[in-house]
């Protein structure tokens, strides 16, 4: 049976996937020369970090087992994504574009997708 908690967690996972899409979409838009692409990427990175932490809280409140090693790994990688995106954004505003940092944010996002999907969650 799908309870209200499952619906809530599922809804936040949907937003978490949209946050991931913002990082990918922002990176692509920036790559293609759109002026605001980097903004989309930065906001996507911030949202991922916050929604990820919210998800951990909800999953635990729902008494589902979590792997702390997996969560810690995702947290460190997500912090690195935010750092790369924020620094690239700040420097670009000052006219010193930083494509390597933008690409690093995208690559680290892909790494976190792999961690999310390939690292198994503990059995209930």
x-marked contacts with ligand HEM along 19-48 as a string, rule CB under 6 A: -x---------------------------x
Which string of x and - marks every residue 52-71 that binds ligand HEM (by CB under 6 A)?
xx-xx--x-----------x
d(CA 16, CA 8): 12
Residues with Cβ within 8 Å of 41's Cβ and at least 6 positions away in sequence, in order, are 22, 23, 26, 27, 30, 85, 89, 102, 105, 106
Question: What is the C-alpha to C-alpha distance for residues 25 and 84, in angstroms, rounded to an integer?
Answer: 16
Cβ-contact 105, 48 below 8 angstroms: no
Applying the rule CB under 6 A, the residues between 97 and 116 that interact with ligand HEM are 109, 112-113, 116
Contact with ligand HEM (CB under 6 A) among 30, 74, 84, 89: 74
Binding site for ligand HEM (CB under 6 A): 13, 16-17, 20, 48-49, 52-53, 55-56, 59, 71, 74-75, 78, 81, 109, 112-113, 116-117
């Amino acid at each position: 049976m799908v309870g209200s908690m499952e619906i809530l967690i599922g809804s936040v996972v949907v937003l978490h996937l949209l946050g991931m899409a913002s990082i990918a979409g922002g990176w692509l838009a920036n790559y293609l020369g759109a002026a605001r692409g980097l903004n989309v990427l930065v906001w996507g990175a911030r949202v991922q970090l916050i929604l990820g932490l919210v998800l951990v809280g909800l999953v635990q409140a729902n008494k589902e087992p979590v792997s702390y090693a997996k969560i810690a790994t995702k947290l460190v990688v997500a912090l690195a994504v935010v750092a790369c995106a924020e620094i690239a954004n700040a420097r670009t505003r000052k006219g010193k574009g930083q494509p390597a940092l933008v690409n690093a944010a995208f690559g680290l996002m892909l790494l976190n997708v792999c961690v999310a999907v390939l690292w198994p969650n503990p059995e209930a």
